[in-house]
Structure 1
Amino acid sequence: MFHEYRDEISALKAKNAHFEKIFEEHNELDKKVTNAENGLNPLSDIELDKLKKQKLKLKDEVYAMIMEYRKNSH
């Protein structure tokens, strides 16, 4: 996720515990979604949809924090 912001992500993870927490939570949700979609951990459509929405919410929050960091560091 956001490979083009690798430097910003590393800096934020080192400086901001909340960022690190939501970044890792997003990655965990991504694994759960991928496993469900590949049949490794079957979920109902409702459960899968809920996970995807949570993942997207976290992704939006991570992106906003990256953009704020970039704005303030330049």
Structure 2
Amino acid sequence: MIGRNEGDPYENLANAIVAQAADDYLTALRKLKRHPGNKAAMTDAMELEHFFHSGWYGVLTHVDPDYLIRKLREKVAS
């Protein structure tokens, strides 16, 4: 239904940004698992880790960045 209120739109946007970054990080980690020498994937992973530790990330969410990174790495390792 158009116009249906599903929470704070700003919170939804913040959650979507963090979720997309997490998905992108998983993609980079999976590429690195298959091809450890993939420089583009390494750059992506490093840039995303930098984002997770940035002030901007802290504005978007209160999820501990080290916890998130650890959980995403565990997901790829399993």
- Range of TM-score over shorter length: 0.3 to 0.5
TM-score scaled by length of structure 2: 0.45
Task: Pick the structure with more helix per residue.
Answer: 1
